[in-house]
């Protein structure tokens, strides 16, 4: 964060100062006392089970200059009614004071965090960039990310999540991007949005927030995203495989390791890209990142080289691990929806050529009335792709097996595991050195399975 005195912080947040108003916060903002550094501001969120105020002393011992809290502590700081609102207010002011900063915002139903990581890696070649690992895309993570920017920061990459109309608009009111990226519109959070059209309406709030001199980067291969070009005053750059895309991929090929190569086309320029990350869906993700880099001023030749070097930063997202015994794990267990699961299954099929494939699939949350059909859909796709073994984890994921059973010529096997421990037992009983195993599910629901597979010395 930029240096601010306690008095300035109080004025911005509507709070009142405890201690010397001239005391200046010179470090970062943290709500985890273990991460606080010298001169930082510790945000104490109240809670029934864990109360941040109880850790104010720890934060001060680690160097915190002040405490942002809802009640007075024995330490210097600012007392506010709502710490979350206070963080948003601070972020709003900080970003407006950084006049050399380019703000990039991105959203989509799947691939947000991975693409954010790619954009961050590319822009870091052009100047100091803030694009922290993980999915910091909500009312807390978004302003927290903004507050990591300093006077030296040139690019701030912000992921934007939404669970309903107005959510992205709220985030863009905190930090208005000049470059906005919409990746796709899919079946994630259908329980909240009701339909993919409702999802598109909410996601499009990002491009509506762009200034006239901004740039909207839209997926030409997704009709609902491409249609957002009419909702923005900014210039539009289309990406994808479609002929209408100005940043385009042709001659896409996926090798036996699941890694794609393609010809990158931008205007009259053509370059050959070979990705180091797995999954054909990474073509669309890297095209979006490439468009951002080009808008930011990266030379085309440098971009072609850089795209081949981007890698996985945030954990449990198409993280491919080859164990000492030869088993290949595709850990994509951070979260799941029908679109992202379909992409992961296609990557599994590509990597499983001449090897046995296993998909361990857990519950996909927030699908609403589409819950049963959404699970059956991915089970059907797994069978159509020829996955050899399918394991559904927990009762609410059982429709996955029904979907697979609906494919009459599928020769694979389907197993049900009541919980993650049961899935581990199934794997442990018959795991071969040539297996490729995908682990996928909504948050936490398959993490134990992925972690067990990583501990290869125990199998």
pLDDT at 366: 87
Helix (H) or strand (E) holding 122, with range, is helix 112-123
166 vs 173: CA distance, rounded Å = 10
Quote the percentage of the chain above a pLDDT of 90: 93
Q: Find the helix or strand (DSSP H, E) in which 238 lies.
A: strand 235-240
Of residues 164, 155, 148, 157, the one with CA closest to residue 181 = 157
Second CATH level (architecture) for the domain 98-307: 3-Layer(aba) Sandwich (3.40)
- 315 contacts: CB under 8 Å, gap ≥ 6: 133, 331, 334
Residue 385 in this model has a pLDDT that exceeds 80: yes
Decide if pLDDT at 108 tops 70: yes
CB atoms within 10 A of CB 30: 20
Tell me the mean pLDDT in the region 253-279.
97
Q: Which H/E stretch holds residue 416?
A: strand 413-417
- Domain(s) labelled CATH 3.90.190.20 in the chain stretch across 319-451
What pLDDT band is residue 459 in, cutting at 50, 70 and 90? Answer: very low
pLDDT of residue 164: 87
In terms of CATH, what superfamily is 4-82? MurE/MurF, N-terminal domain (3.40.1390.10)
Confidence of residue 84 (pLDDT cuts 50, 70, 90): very high
Write down the architecture of domain 319-451 according to CATH: Alpha-Beta Complex (3.90)
Q: How does strand 129-130 pair with strand 24-25?
A: unpaired
What's the mean per-residue pLDDT of the chain?
Answer: 96
Record the tokens describing residue 28, joined without a space.
Answer: 């970062």
Query: pLDDT, tens digit, for every residue of 416-425?
Result: 999 999 999 9
- pLDDT above 60 for 345: yes
Out of 98-107, 167-176, 189-198, 245-254, which region has the weakest mean confidence (pLDDT)? Answer: 189-198
Three-state SS for 139? Answer: coil
pLDDT classification of 457: cutoffs 50, 70, 90: very low
Cβ atoms of 335 and 443 within 8 Å: the answer is yes
Judge whether residue 57 has pLDDT over 70.
yes
The answer, yes or no, to whether residue 191 has pLDDT greater than 70, is no
- Confidence (pLDDT) at 186: 79
Q: Please give the full DSSP string across 322-379, using - where no structure is assigned.
A: E-TTS-EEEEE-S---HHHHHHHHHHHHHHTTTS-EEEEE----S-GGGHHHHHHHHH
Mean pLDDT, range 376-395, rounded to an integer:
98
* Residue spans in the chain of domains classed CATH 3.40.1190.10: 98-307
Which tens digit of pLDDT belongs to each residue from 149-175? 999 999 999 999 988 899 999 999 999
* pLDDT score, position 48: 82
Is the confidence at residue 194, as pLDDT, over 90? no
Q: How far from each other are the two terminal CA atoms of the chain, in whole angstroms? A: 46
Residue 421, token pair as written in the block: 């421990």
Q: Is pLDDT of 192 > 90?
A: no
**Other Cβ atoms within 10 Å of 172 Cβ, number:** 23
d(CA 434, CA 204): 44
Residue whose C-alpha is closest to residue 328's, from 456, 440, 441: 456
Which of 386, 388, 393, 389 is closest to 407 using CA atoms? 386
Report the alpha-carbon distance of residue 162 to residue 166 in Å, rounded.
8
Q: CATH 3.40.1390.10 region(s) of the chain?
A: 4-82
Taking the C-alpha atoms of residue 256 and residue 305, their distance in angstroms, rounded to an integer, is: 22
Residue 450 CA: distances (Å) to CA of 11, 117, 362: 47, 22, 12
């Amino acid at each position: 964060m930029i240096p601010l005195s306690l008095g300035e912080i109080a004025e911005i947040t509507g709070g009142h100062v405890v201690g010397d108003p001239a005391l200046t916060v010179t470090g970062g903002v943290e709500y985890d006392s273990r991460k606080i550094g010298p001169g930082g501001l510790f945000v104490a969120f109240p809670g029934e089970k864990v109360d941040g105020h109880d850790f104010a002393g720890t934060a001060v011992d680690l160097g915190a200059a002040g405490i942002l809290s809802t009640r007075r502590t024995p330490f210097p700081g600012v007392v506010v009614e709502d710490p979350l609102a206070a963080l948003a207010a601070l972020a709003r002011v900080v970003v407006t004071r950084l006049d050399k900063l380019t703000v990039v915002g991105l959203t989509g139903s799947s691939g947000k965090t991975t693409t954010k990581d790619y954009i961050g890696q590319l822009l870091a070649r052009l100047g100091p960039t803030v694009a922290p690992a993980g999915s910091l895309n909500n009312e807390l993570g978004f302003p927290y990310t903004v507050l990591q920017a300093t006077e030296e920061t040139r690019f701030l990459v912000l992921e934007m999540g939404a669970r309903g109309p107005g959510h992205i608009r709220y985030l863009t009111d905190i930090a208005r991007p000049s470059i906005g990226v919409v990746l796709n519109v899919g079946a994630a959070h259908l329980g909240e949005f009701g339909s993919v059209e409702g999802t598109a309406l909410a996601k499009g709030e990002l491009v509506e927030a762009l200034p006239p001199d901004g740039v909207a980067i839209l997926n030409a291969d997704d009709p609902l995203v491409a249609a957002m070009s009419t909702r923005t005053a900014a210039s539009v750059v289309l990406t994808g495989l479609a002929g209408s895309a100005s940043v385009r991929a042709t001659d896409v090929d996926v090798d036996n390791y699941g890694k794609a190569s393609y010809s990158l086309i931008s205007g009259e320029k053509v370059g050959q890209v070979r990705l180091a990350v797995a999954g054909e869906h990474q073509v669309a993700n890297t095209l979006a990142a490439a468009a951002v880099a080009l808008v930011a001023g990266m030379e085309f030749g440098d971009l072609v080289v850089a795209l081949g070097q981007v890698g996985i930063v945030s954990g449990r997202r198409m993280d491919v691990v080859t164990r000492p015994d030869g088993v290949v794990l595709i850990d994509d267990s951070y979260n799941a929806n029908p679109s992202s699961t379909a992409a992961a299954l296609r990557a599994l099929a590509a990597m499983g050529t001449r090897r046995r494939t296993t998909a361990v699939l857990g519950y996909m949350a927030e699908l609403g009335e589409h819950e049963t059909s959404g699970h059956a859909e991915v089970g059907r796709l797994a069978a159509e792709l020829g996955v050899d073994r399918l394991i559904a984890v927990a009762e609410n994921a059982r429709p996955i097996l029904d979907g697979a059973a609906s494919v009459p010529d599928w020769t694979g096997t389907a197993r049900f595991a009541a919980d993650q421990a049961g899935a581990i037992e199934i794997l442990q009983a018959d795991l071969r050195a040539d297996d490729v195993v995908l682990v996928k599910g909504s948050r936490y629901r398959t993490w134990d399975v992925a972690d067990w597979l990583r501990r290869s010395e125990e199998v």
